Amino acid sequence: MGGLDPLRQPHAVRKRINLIAGGERMVYARMTGRENLWYFGQLYDIPTKVLKPRIEELLALVGLTNAAATRVEQYSRGMTQRLSIARGLINDPDYLLLDEPTLGLDAPIARDLRRVVAGLAERGKGVLLTSHYLAEVEQLCEHVYVIGDGRHLAAGSPAELMAQTGCHRTVRVTVTNLSPQIEAAVRAFDSRVRLAPGGVIELNHPDDLTGALTTAIIEAGGALGGLEIVEPSLEDAILALSDRSLKVVA
Amino acid sequence: MSVAWATLRRSWLVTKRAYPWSYFIGTLLLGVFTIGLAYLGLRAVAGGGISAEFRGKAGTGDYLGYIAVGAGAYMFVVHGILWTGKAMIQEQREGTMGALLVAPARRLPYLLGFSAFAFTAVAVEVAVLFAWAASTRSDSRMPYARGST
């Protein structure tokens, strides 16, 4: 890790890492926010001259400056979690381990946390995020490892994972006057075209064929009642991987 | 030693806030009851007399003083060592164990800090206990020695 051997140099490695876990943990309930940060600063042997301004900076970062002198037991769940984030940053870690950091947080607080994490990554910090919230993973992670039943299933960027699992953009066109002639035209357009009830024509394709498909429908005499483009998500890719894994196990 | 000092301060703050007075009273009562029970035994069972056998084996006729030393040692063991041993369990319950494990602080200064708090607290309690025992000491000094029964 960063040129250090965690087994031979655990002390040096610990100085450069920190951990933030979800679920209101990792801070002392009967101490104030500032006291908690001071204590953990001592555990990391941070000089007082550095620690004092850093505590204030972190309290401001997580929006707890006004509650710094309040005991954690009087904090709301979100405030406790935000303090836990500040604690995780007390040693200005080069590598940050995040274990479900937004678990149980209100949406605005979770969004703020994601902003903080994204900012850390932009500043060159290494962030390892473990999460079941796939939208969060998709938003924050450049490289994703998929683990299922304790086994490593796949790895790559979210886009690569989606491509690997055949998850592509879906174009959904609603035709108000669907006729056998239009059906034949769209089937001839691409073999991946699927006809759904209600005059809906779906095409899942790696290339963007929205314009070409709608043109083909109009040329066949079709009238467009609606157009929907659904981008693939990491969740789709994970579900596809999960299905494949189940098939392998079966 | 900043970790030891910080842990001592943290333990003091947390204990004071969790048990503003009951912690100290509660632990002190352990010694008070130990000596009190011995005092009751001395008065109600032994009739206030100290046997020559006890005097011979203990080397003193000061029965309550003898018990007080034992009670003090017992408090040191229970509250000094046991509470220090309990430090890790408390961290686990509080959910702070993970944060401690990833920190570079070594275990010894952490445990020394916790021990320093536990032993300081129990030293004050034992001092109070001895003061109380000393105040009742004159009552336990018997003007005569009873023979062995």
* Residues of A whose CB is below 8 A from B108: none
Q: Hey, what CATH topology would domain A168-231 get?
A: Alpha-Beta Plaits (3.30.70)
Residue of A123, A49, A113 lying closest to A92 (CA atoms):
A123
On the question of pLDDT at B91 being above 60, the answer is yes
Chain A residue at shortest CA distance from B9: A39
* Residues of A whose CB is below 8 A from B14: 28, 30-31
- A97-156 pLDDT, tens digit per residue, is 988 888 777 788 788 788 888 888 888 888 898 888 888 888 888 888 888 778 888 888
pTM, two decimals, is 0.73
Q: Do A24 and B18 count as a contact with CB atoms less than 8 A apart?
A: no
Res A87: pLDDT: 93
Q: Do B18 and A26 count as a contact with CB atoms less than 8 A apart?
A: no
- B106-135 pLDDT, tens digit per residue, is 888 998 898 888 888 888 888 887 887 777
DSSP state of A178: -
Tokens of A127: 């962030």
Give the closest of A26, A31, A45 to B95, CB-based: A26
User: Across the strands, what pairs with A228?
Assistant: A172
pLDDT average, residue stretch A24-47: 92
At residue B95, the 3 state secondary structure works out as coil
Tokens of B43: 């008065």
- A42-74 pLDDT, tens digit per residue, is 999 999 999 999 999 999 988 899 999 999 999
Gap between the Cα atoms of A201 and A222, Å rounded = 11
H helices of A193-249, where?
A: 210-219, 234-249
Residue A96: phi, psi to the nearest 5?
-120, 125
Domain layout of chain B by residue ranges: 2-142
At residue B62, the 3 state secondary structure works out as coil
Chain A residues within 8 angstroms (CB to CB) of chain B = 11-12, 14-15, 17-19, 21, 23-31, 35, 38-40, 42-45, 71, 87, 97
DSSP state of B51: E
Give the closest of B10, B17, B98 to A19, CB-based: B98
Gap between the Cα atoms of B111 and B121, Å rounded = 15
Domain layout of chain A by residue ranges: 10-141, 168-231
Whether ipTM exceeds 0.85: no
* Residues of A whose CB is below 8 A from B103: 14, 40, 43-44
- A219-229 pLDDT, tens digit per residue, is 888 888 888 88
Gap between the Cα atoms of A5 and A204, Å rounded = 47
On the question of pLDDT at A204 being above 50, the answer is yes
Of the pLDDT bands very low, low, confident and very high (cuts 50, 70, 90), residue A246 is low
Gap between the Cα atoms of B9 and A124, Å rounded = 35
Strands B145-146 and B50-51 turn out to be parallel
On the question of pLDDT at B143 being above 50, the answer is no
Superfamily of domain A10-141: P-loop containing nucleotide triphosphate hydrolases (3.40.50.300)
Q: Which is higher by pLDDT, A92 or B82?
A: A92
Res A169: pLDDT: 80
Residues 6+ apart with CB under 8 A from A97: A17, A18, A19, A20, A128, A130, B102
- B42-88 pLDDT, tens digit per residue, is 888 878 788 888 888 888 888 888 888 888 888 888 877 787 778 88
Of the pLDDT bands very low, low, confident and very high (cuts 50, 70, 90), residue B138 is low
Q: Which is higher by pLDDT, A26 or A41?
A: A41
